[in-house]
Chains A and B, each alone.
Chain A
Amino acid sequence: MADPMKIRAQMKGEIADIRVLMSHPMDTGQVKDAKTGQIIPAHFIQQVNVSVGGKVVVEGQIGAAVSRNPVFGFKVKGAKAGDKVVVSWTDNKGDKRSDETVIA
């Protein structure tokens, strides 16, 4: 099981500001291990979903060009304090992780 994400969600006026830190190696599959000379197999997040208050607001496809331990930020209209935010990802090896928080 992958390490947990860190999610911050805050109302800024009318807009909810959601920021997510994910813990993931995001290996591109094009880098060799310096010691063994073997290619490090590709291992990256492919799908990122965000829902606010039970409603899906982001369905994103991302790829190997995104950095290790990536940071994402979303601004969502129509949310309110107390809404539940659920962020989940799936990577190319089928690993999944889902974390949630409440908008402050």
Chain B
Amino acid sequence: MKRILLLCAAGAAVAAFPAVAKDAATAEFEKFRDVLEADNPAELFEMKGEELWKTKRGPNNASLEKCDLGLGPGVVKGAYVQMPRYFADVGKVMDAERRIVYCMVSLQGFKAEDIARQPFSSQTHTPDQTAIVTYVAGQSRNMKFAVPMNRPEMRETYEIGKEIAAFRAGPYDFACNSCHGEDGKRIRMQELSNISTHEGASKSVQGWPGYRMTGGVMLTLQWRMTDCFRQQRFPEPKYLSDTITALITYMSANAQGSLYKGPGIKR
């Protein structure tokens, strides 16, 4: 209950604080992050993910080296910044985590229901796909976002994502855009990015997957999106739902052309 009250207060704070220039607390945290980025524990998960990618596992005893992330079977370099993309083999737009889980199911024979049971990291458990996403993301470090928007399916997904971001509902009549739709908003200490702009969207997709120092857990963009819905008091989307892919498409396409710095570190 205490947690719920706290979050209500956070919601109110968004409305109460007008645009603030970059404040001292944010600047201090950025310094802290700069120091830590050089030694980001996310790299441990990259190593783990690489091993998982290359090891023969699952009921089919197969590795993921035949997994096509859009650039051909097994090509990992640069794949992350070119997702979400439309995959003709399944006729769907998929983001990185969704595609990786698809490969784990179709190539390695894991069961989607088993993976969906505990899809995100906790203090005691890091799902395999989280480590694999971190590895794949690390292989796009210092590359520019180049989401292939030339497909009509991608443009459609983008428009759906844009709609979802603006969709107000739930007990607080909230939408993603209530916090992330205009410049200069913040919740408590956190400045919020405006995902409808190139700059804001770049900030939002940057640093995911991220290692969260609170608790020391590795989290993906899928997790972040799902958590946004929780904070809005929406029903929780199913793991790897179209909704989340659409939102990630919307943000990634808005961030098109910006430099991806690799898995990040979060507060």
Contacts and interface: CB of A to CB of B under 8 A. Distances in A.
Interface of A: 3-4, 6, 19, 21-23, 25-26, 33, 40, 67-69, 71, 73
**Which 6 pairs between the two chains have the least Cβ-Cβ distance?**
A68-B216, A69-B41, A71-B39, A23-B44, A6-B43, A69-B216
A21 B123 CA distance: 18
B48 interface: yes
B205 interface: no
Given A21-B39, A33-B124, A71-B39, A3 B44 contact: yes
B216 A6 contact: no
A21 B218 CA distance: 15
A77 B89 CA distance: 57
B44 A69 contact: yes
Contacts of A3: 44, 47-48
Given A21-B44, A69-B211, A69-B216, 5 more contacts: A6-B44, A19-B38, A21-B39, A67-B216, A68-B215
Chain B contact residues: helix, strand, loop or mixed: loop
Contacts of B124: 25, 33, 40
Given A33-B124, A68-B216, A69-B216, A4 B39 contact: no
Contacts of A4: 47
A26 B215 CA distance: 11
Contacts of A26: 216
8 contacts: A6-B43, A21-B41, A21-B43, A23-B48, A40-B124, A67-B216, A69-B216, A71-B39
A25 B124 CA distance: 8
A73 B48 CA distance: 22
Nearest to A22: B44
Contacts of B123: 25, 68
A21 B45 CA distance: 11
Chain A contact residues: helix, strand, loop or mixed: loop
Contacts of A25: 123-124
Nearest to A23: B44
Nearest to B48: A3
A23 B41 CA distance: 8
Interface in B198-233: 211, 213, 215-216
Nearest to B43: A6
A4 B50 CA distance: 12
B178 to A, nearest CB: 29
Nearest to B216: A68
Interface in B20-60: 36, 38-39, 41, 43-44, 47-48
A19 B211 CA distance: 18
A61 B124 CA distance: 25
Interface in B215-266: 215-216
A71 B48 contact: no
Contacts of B215: 68
A71 B41 contact: yes
A4 B123 CA distance: 19
Contacts of A67: 213, 216
A77 B47 CA distance: 29
Nearest to A8: B39
Contacts of A71: 36, 39, 41
Contacts of B48: 3, 23
A21 B41 CA distance: 6
Contacts of A68: 123, 215-216
